[in-house]
């Protein structure tokens, strides 16, 4: 099956800035409505994460703390693997994680070695919605499901420590869902778990 070509970069991920969700009457309902028809059509698990991009993570964290969102864990590093459109790249960057109203917020800088996150920046410097994340036991099952549905796997990667392995895959579902989706699997000691990075003790809390 021929997969769709990459769409032109959309800096607002379907026109949505994170601030739009924060000012909604119900943040959780507004977030839960994102790409809902697409998610229901394909039997997605519950929404787990909102992926956000900003020019500077530290500045963005301070901005969100003023909005009452606290508990960010900030880290800098390089995934062990990063495969983009079938080619290997050496990506590195900074991210911050927090939980807000039951959803994990992943705040990302553009990083170096790939334009994947950079292309999602808001021209005005606001925090932009980049992707929706879903915690799953096996990312391969979901990327194969999306391939059969005509969607393109854009990026695959892994984060590995002595006991913890995180695998992730970004699928370009913008054509049908209006936003990128990410599938995330976490294994501790080789056993899949449904657990946030915030619970692993591997990141420094702000």
Cβ atoms of 13 and 180 closer than 8 Å: yes
Q: How far apart are CA 99 and CA 57, in angstroms?
A: 16
DSSP 124: T
Q: How far apart are CA 60 and CA 62, in angstroms?
A: 5
Position 198 confidence tier, pLDDT thresholds 50, 70, 90: low
- Residue 142: which of 32, 7, 49, 39 has the closest Cα? 39
Task: Please state which CATH number belongs to domain 18-205.
Answer: 3.10.180.10
pLDDT tens per residue, range 47-89: 999 999 999 999 999 999 999 999 999 999 899 999 999 899 9
- Residue 31: which of 102, 97, 83, 110 has the closest Cα? 102
Cβ atoms of 44 and 37 closer than 8 Å: no
Q: What is the CA radius of gyration of the chain?
A: 16
Q: From residue 37, give the alpha-carbon distance in Å to each of 9, 21, 33, 192.
A: 23, 18, 8, 28
Q: How far apart are CA 137 and CA 50, in angstroms?
A: 19
Which ranges in the chain belong to alpha helices (H)?
A: 18-22, 27-32, 36-41, 57-66, 139-148, 174-177
Domain boundaries, the chain: 18-205
Position 36 confidence tier, pLDDT thresholds 50, 70, 90: very high
pLDDT tens per residue, range 1-28: 333 344 433 433 445 899 999 999 999 9
């Amino acid at each position: 099956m021929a997969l769709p070509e990459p769409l032109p970069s959309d800096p607002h991920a379907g026109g949505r800035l994170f601030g739009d969700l924060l000012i909604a009457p119900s943040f959780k309902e507004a977030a839960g409505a994102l790409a809902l028809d697409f998610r229901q059509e394909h039997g997605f698990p519950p929404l787990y994460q909102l992926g956000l991009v900003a020019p500077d993570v530290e500045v963005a964290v301070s901005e969100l703390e003023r909005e009452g969102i606290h508990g960010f864990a900030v880290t800098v590093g390089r995934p062990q693997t990063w495969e983009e459109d079938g080619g290997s790249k050496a990506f590195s960057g900074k991210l911050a994680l927090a939980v807000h109203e039951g959803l994990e917020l992943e705040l990302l800088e553009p990083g170096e070695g790939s334009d994947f996150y950079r292309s999602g920046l808001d021209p005005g410097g606001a925090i932009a919605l980049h992707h929706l994340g879903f915690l799953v036991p096996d990312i391969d099952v979901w990327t194969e499901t999306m391939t059969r549905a005509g969607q393109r796997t854009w990026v695959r990667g892994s984060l590995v420590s002595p006991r913890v392995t995180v695998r992730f895959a970004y699928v370009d579902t913008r054509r049908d869902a209006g936003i990128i989706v990410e599938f995330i699997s976490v294994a501790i000691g080789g056993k899949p778990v449904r657990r946030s990075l915030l619970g692993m003790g591997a990141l420094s809390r702000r």
